[in-house]
Structure 1
């Protein structure tokens, strides 16, 4: 009886329990229902365009710089190597007023006598002064082939930049023997270029005998590459025409040590038997001197030089029993003051 009552209670409770479980499962499994849309099924009108009926401009906004010329950046090379673009400089003569005043305006302030003295002093100090110089170019002794010889070659001048009185003397001989040759020249020297003078004057030969005078015309100066050149033509009182060309060059090996190559050539237009000179190229000397310049005014040197008589001059020398070719060792000094 008790068992029957228990089964009835279980059966009555199962439907309610089953329904409760079904409701709980439905809430967990099914998503929450979406809230119903109040406008569902209604056709919504499109929102009105606030610009409807307005014509929008198609052009872009105006350029604030429209119509303005923008300056270009300065050229950093402007004016470099370019011809000026300004107006051409007039080439007409100066106006008359430019030369209408006093020749020396300072005369009105300081006085004509004072300014005349000042201008004379300025002219003298800037090129109008009188200058003088003496150059002992060669003062030497020569040794060779049993002969000991001596030689001098001295020249100088006094005057101004353009015009000078120029004098020259040279000669040679043997120690213990007679003077072989000697001459003196007196010349007017006129500048014809910054480094060249034309010279004219007279030359007088003391030796060899008979003594003889010559008219001289020549040129002397500093040629390109600093070659010192002295070239002259001579016309004797007997009508003999001769010429001499000398050239030398100072090559500085150091500031003090100087090598000087030198060459001298003599020519004649005709035979001069009394002087032992033949027509054409008559003699040549070539050598070199190595000097040490203790000060600019004093240069001792040693050197070597070759002498040769050529053509008819060599024939005259052979007939007189003289040497035609000779080599001499030299010792000497160059100085100036």
Structure 2
């Protein structure tokens, strides 16, 4: 049954990817005839962004270090992305860590379709996932990143993150963000329940010393939900709480 689930999920992923890639060239061609700059001669560039390099002091939970970064290389239409995120406990042990390698195709001026693979180094047991997603700017200049995952065991899950940069001055930026994770099946060996697994909401105030370097402070609230919270309690772990944050945002 697991083999059939994996094959069915892989087939669905392949069909969706093929359909988007068939539609994207027509959209790109239409944009070439608009008043916007054409994409017929792409200039290949790259960049690295660490949105979060931070340490959090828990008010009613453990202190946690966290990173969230991404790098890309390519043109306006086609890009390759490398994404990573994770966290460490107070004693420096890595509690969670993942890496994604994605191909990105421009759908419109503000949205990219992405597909690729994800590898979770921690927690154990490690897992491989297939990934499809959308990343871009929603109306109101909200940054949105939505991803769906299918594991090597055929388990389905998803993640959605929304953030917004509110410029108080030309250098002072207030950034609220919300991230939600959910799963269709229970995965007890990873401490994951079905339904909504956890939610994290943060508010970070950064000062852009330069465009590349921006230290920040903030607060965050994180909470495990449902069976995921029950699994955490059974392991003697905290299910969430408030934390004060300090960190730095790097772009180069």
| Residue segments in structure 2 that go unaligned for 5+ positions in a row | 1-36
CA, structure 1 residues 232+297, in 2 after alignment: closer, same or farther (shift >3 Å)? same
Match of 1:168 in 2: 83
Q: CA deviation at 1:318?
A: 1.1
Structure 2 equivalent of residue 156 of structure 1? 71
Q: Deviations over 1:236-284 (max 9, x none)?
A: 0001111000110000111111100010000000101011111001100
Q: Which has the higher strand share?
A: 2
Q: Secondary structure at the match of 1:193?
A: coil
Conserved? CA contact 1:127–1:161, under 8 Å: no
- State how 1:136-285 maps to structure 2 within 5 Å: 136-144=50-58, 145=60, 147-285=62-200
TM-superposed CA distance for 1:147, in Å, is: 2.6
Contact preservation (8 Å) 2:53, 2:67: yes
Distance 1:198 1:285, change over 3 A: same
Separation in structure 1 between the aligned mates of residue 38 and residue 82 of structure 2, nearest angstrom: 23
State the alpha-carbon separation in 2 of the partners of residues 228 and 197 from structure 1. Answer: 12
Report if the CA contact (8 A) 2:39-2:77 is conserved.
Answer: no
The structure number with the bigger radius of gyration is 1
- Runs of 4+ aligned residues of structure 1 deviating over 6 Å after TM superposition are 123-126
CA distance in structure 2 between the aligned counterparts of 1:265 and 1:281, rounded to whole angstroms: 8
Cα contact 1:183–1:204 (8 A) shared by 2: yes
Gaps in structure 1 of 5+ consecutive residues = 1-122
Aligned residues between the structures: 215
Q: Choose from 279, 287, 298 the match for 2:202.
A: 287
Residues 257 and 291 of structure 1 are in contact (CA less than 8 Å); yes or no, is this contact kept in structure 2?
Answer: yes
TM-score norm. by structure 1 comes to 0.62
Q: CA RMSD in A?
A: 1.6
Q: Which residue is equivalent to 1:135? A: 49
SS at match of 1:265: strand
Larger RCO: Structure 1 or Structure 2 (Cα < 8 Å, ≥ 6 residues apart)?
2
C-alpha displacement at 1:322, in angstroms?
A: 1.1
Paired with 1:203 and 1:190, the residues of 2 have a C-alpha distance of 18
1:128, distance to aligned residue in structure 2 (A): 1.2
Aligned partner of residue 206 in structure 2, secondary structure: strand
Counterpart in the other structure of 1:297: 212
CA contact 1:203–1:215 (8 Å) conserved in 2: yes
> Within 2, Cα distance between the matches of 1:286 and 1:336?
23
